[in-house]
Amino acid sequence: MVATLEQIESWGVVGAGGAGFPTHVKLKSSAEIMILNAAECEPLLHKDKELLRRYGDEVLAGLDAARQLVGASEAVVGIKGKYTDVIEALTPKLPAGMRIQALTDTYPAGDEFVLVYDVTGRVIPPGKIPLAVGAAVINVETALNIAQSAPVTTKFLTIAGAVHNPVTIHVPVGITFGEAVELAGGATVDAPVALIGGAMMGSFCDDFSGPITKTTGGMIVLGRDHPLVHRYTLPWSAIKTIGASACDQCNFCTYYCPRYLLGHPIEPHKAMRSLGFNEVGEPNVLGTQFCCECNLCSMMACPEDLDPKNVCTVNKRELASEGRKWEVEADEVRADMHLSNRRVPIQRLILKLGLKQFTNEGPLRENGYQPTQVVLPLKQHAGAPAVATVAVGDPVKVGDVIARPATGALGAVIHASMDGRVTDVSDSVTIGN
């Protein structure tokens, strides 16, 4: 029987691959085509492929349930063509109305706009969502969570980079980054740091006491002397000053930009040019509002290692805070004829990022890890923080509700991920033995 929206809401299912948009809200919509985003293009991360290898039946069942809920006539698994073993294993299992679309081994193949274009040939207009072209997109782990018909209390994530045993682990939500690194055999460097979520779109972390949430897809562990650490920790004042003086307006950042190549009016070199006039946020760079923060312009395109991505995102946030928007007519948008020539192969990207020395695999190992404490942030989804429904001292069991969205607020239910007693309630709920 297909799960209902009410059940999916009660299980606290959110988009497991990024912002954590509540899945029951997404699936209230109508779409012609439901796409499974199995592109997973962040270098060294392997969670989605591993889930499709181990839980292929369940993921396809979750995808089919999502397809039926939005009323789509077709469902498509978007996965890189190089994963021939996964494609061969899934093909005989595909139900009626479902197909596989083989994708190129490039970055950012998993960007929703790129994925929808590759699967449907339709360009999502700037500032819109996939539904604008009749598509809905869900992540592999989200489909699995729908199929498992139970509260979301665990998380899959790849631990890669400077660790002894790169691995995809399955752990209770709320364990620490440090525990996750230990499950990968520990770091191979002293005083490690990490990029949480990936080398391209992750966030820098040098405190491993923070918790794994429902949206943590992976960790790239690094030594403090790795060049990416310098890139991620450069202060805005330096980004701005160096950018203003060193950008030679070669336009490579724009020519590589996947959104520009889809025909969106974003040209990061213009945002860089604006630095010279102290014009971040001025009308000539309105297009930065369409930046998806993929980081390709900074990490791959710029021959001078400047940071147009951060210039665009600072600009974008200023525009948003001022309430300024650029409405683009859909019929003005056409993919660039050079789009397919300018896709960036993952192997080139790995080389450029300085990740070549790391093992590029992450086999799934499920060892039933039992923590002695979990910390469950009340905000680990898009929308407003959930409101705790438990108090210090309350006993809880795995799967018990510990927080719910406020009435009428966008959000997701949060459940206990271990048996124990509540030891703290603040902006998180802590459970200990």
Number of residues interacting with ligand SF4: please give it, by CB under 6 A: 27
Interaction of residue 198 with ligand SF4, rule CB under 6 A: no
Which of 309, 343, 381, 415 contacts ligand SF4 by CB under 6 A? Answer: 309
Which of 27, 124, 247, 390 contacts ligand SF4 by CB under 6 A? Answer: 247
Interaction of residue 41 with ligand SF4, rule CB under 6 A: no
Q: Which is nearer to ligand SF4, 139 or 310 (CB)?
A: 310
Interaction of residue 367 with ligand SF4, rule CB under 6 A: no
Place of tokens 């993929």: 294
Interaction of residue 306 with ligand SF4, rule CB under 6 A: yes
Interaction of residue 257 with ligand SF4, rule CB under 6 A: yes
Termini Cα distance of the chain: 37
Measured CA to CA, the distance from residue 214 to residue 198 in angstroms comes to: 15
Q: Which is nearer to ligand SF4, 213 or 295 (CB)?
A: 295
Measured CA to CA, the distance from residue 433 to residue 426 in angstroms comes to: 18
Interaction of residue 284 with ligand SF4, rule CB under 6 A: no
Q: Which residues contact 86 (CB under 8 A, 6 or more apart)?
A: 49, 52, 53, 56, 79
**CB–CB of 228/234 below 8 Å?**
no
Which of 49, 170, 214, 269 contacts ligand SF4 by CB under 6 A? Answer: 269
How buried is residue 17: exposed, middle or buried, by Cβ count under 10 Å (0-12/13-18/19+)? Answer: buried
Point out which span in 67-75, 79-87, 262-270, 330-338 binds ligand SF4 (CB under 6 A). Answer: 262-270
Which of 131, 150, 250, 401 contacts ligand SF4 by CB under 6 A? Answer: 250
**CB–CB of 376/211 below 8 Å?**
yes
Q: Which is nearer to ligand SF4, 124 or 247 (CB)?
A: 247
DSSP-derived secondary structure letter, 403: E
Which of 35, 221, 301, 376 contacts ligand SF4 by CB under 6 A? Answer: 301
Residue 136 in 3-state DSSP?
strand
- Phi, psi dihedral angles at 222 (to 5 degrees): -140, 160
The least CB distance from residue 383 to ligand SF4, in Å, is: 24
The least CB distance from residue 293 to ligand SF4, in Å, is: 5
Interaction of residue 302 with ligand SF4, rule CB under 6 A: yes
**CB–CB of 181/5 below 8 Å?**
no
Which of 45, 63, 65, 312 contacts ligand SF4 by CB under 6 A? Answer: 312
Q: Which is nearer to ligand SF4, 49 or 269 (CB)?
A: 269
Interaction of residue 293 with ligand SF4, rule CB under 6 A: yes
The least CB distance from residue 310 to ligand SF4, in Å, is: 9
Measured CA to CA, the distance from residue 358 to residue 220 in angstroms comes to: 10
The least CB distance from residue 269 to ligand SF4, in Å, is: 4
Cα-Cα-Cα-Cα dihedral sign, residues 168, 151, 398, 153: positive
Which of 249, 278, 284, 340 contacts ligand SF4 by CB under 6 A? Answer: 249
Q: Which is nearer to ligand SF4, 189 or 339 (CB)?
A: 339
Which of 79, 253, 349, 418 contacts ligand SF4 by CB under 6 A? Answer: 253
Within 44-153, strands assigned E span: 74-80, 98-103, 106-107, 135-139
- Residue 115, by phi and psi: left (phi above 0), alpha (psi -120 to 50) or beta? alpha
Q: Where are the alpha helices (DSSP H) in 19-98?
A: 23-26, 47-70, 84-90
How buried is residue 75: exposed, middle or buried, by Cβ count under 10 Å (0-12/13-18/19+)? Answer: buried
Q: Which is nearer to ligand SF4, 187 or 299 (CB)?
A: 299
Q: Which is nearer to ligand SF4, 62 or 197 (CB)?
A: 197
Interaction of residue 147 with ligand SF4, rule CB under 6 A: no
Residues that bind ligand SF4 (CB under 6 A): 247-253, 257, 259, 266, 268-269, 272, 291-297, 301-302, 304, 306, 308-309, 312
